[in-house]
Amino acid sequence: MSDKHPSRTAVIALGGNAITLEGQSGTYEEMLANCQAMVKSIAAIHEAGWRIVITHGNGPQVGNLAVQQDEAELLVPGQPLYALGAMTQGLIGHLIETALLNERGHDIGSIVTVVTHVDVDPQDPAFGNPTKPIGPFYTLGQAEERSARTGQPIVEDAGRGYRVVVASPRPRRVLERDAITSLVAQGFMVIAGGGGGIPVVDDQGTIRGVNAVIDKDRAAALLAAELKADALVLVTGVDTVLLDFGKPTQRELNVVTADEMRTHAQDGQFPAGSMGPKVEAAIDFVDARDGVAVITSANLMSAALDGLAGPGTHIVRSVRS
């Protein structure tokens, strides 16, 4: 990335499953090492002059905390799920900050983590239909035993085992938007909206938390639109979005309009349990902001922001000749 873009802002959404990889138990050392690997591209983007806001998922981490709470209930009071979300914002923010400082020998500029609350609708139908997997994978027997003990529903998740699911309402408003905007304008690299934000509702003038986990890609798209960002980068495990995945007609999507992406989604190209939420979030951002949404891997996100000719899948309002 040769050209400096000091006035451009990118919101980068990292996955909680990239912070605790499949097969890992989620030790502190594992998570820090995974963050260290991911921030190389973020540091390169910052070095190129972009203002950066980092968001992240927390599915494995908040689920592990929930297990700890459940197991220690006889010794210390358990905390509600939304409080566990706040805890993961602090922990993962610390891990990303530490990794960034180590990557550039403490010369990455000013970094700050903002504990972030996100308003949701108390009547959101998601509260009656939990779909968001959190925590570790279980065998069917383990999952059924846990569900019987805690009352939490379980689902089979992508052929890898069974997980607890919780409600995932749509985000409506980032309460700390003005503070984050001010920090970005002052040149801070901001980590915000962790785990999709702490879900809260306005109960007749009183803000209260609700037990749910907001999809981090949806929250990132909302935050990017509210910040008037130029780019939304959704980091995933593949370099590009694929059409006809696993079929002889499989092909990469490089530059595609939001309307074309919407048609592909309606045709069932992007399952809800995998690429669907990212595609939906990308379309939401482009519709709201007319910026570019990029879906790519952590290793390629720096090159992907170099322009539409770069790697990854770029979703735009229209393709200009």
**The predicted structure's pLDDT at residue 106:** 61
Fill in the DSSP letter of residue 115.
Answer: -
Q: What pLDDT sits at residue 3?
A: 44
Q: Return d(Cα 116, Cα 20) in angstroms, integer.
A: 21
Do 112 and 43 form a contact (C-beta atoms < 8 A)?
Answer: no
Q: Are strands 198-203 and 255-257 parallel, antiparallel or unpaired?
A: unpaired
The per-residue pLDDT for 47 is 87
- Given this model, what pLDDT does residue 6 score? 53
pLDDT at 147: 84
Any idea which residues carry the catalytic annotation?
A: 16-17, 132, 216, 278
Can you give the pLDDT at residue 17?
85
Q: What is the pTM of this model?
A: 0.90
Q: Report pLDDT digits (tens) over 212-258.
A: 999 999 999 999 999 999 999 999 988 999 999 889 999 999 999 99
Task: State the pLDDT at residue 268.
Answer: 92
Q: Are 241 and 313 in contact (CB under 8 A)?
A: yes
Q: How far apart are CA 29 and CA 60, in angstroms?
A: 15
Q: What is the pLDDT of residues 172-186, one digit of tens each?
A: 999 999 999 999 999
Asked if residues 55 and 12 have their Cβ atoms less than 8 Å apart, the reply is yes
CA dihedral for 151, 156, 157, 162, sign (positive or negative) = positive
Q: Hey, where are the domains in the chain?
A: 9-120+169-316, 130-166
Separation between Cα atoms, residue 3 and residue 293, nearest integer Å: 19
Superfamily assignment of 9-120+169-316 in CATH?
Acetylglutamate kinase-like (3.40.1160.10)
∠64-65-66 over CA atoms, to 5°? Answer: 90
Residues of the chain scoring pLDDT < 70:
1-6, 105-109, 273, 319-321
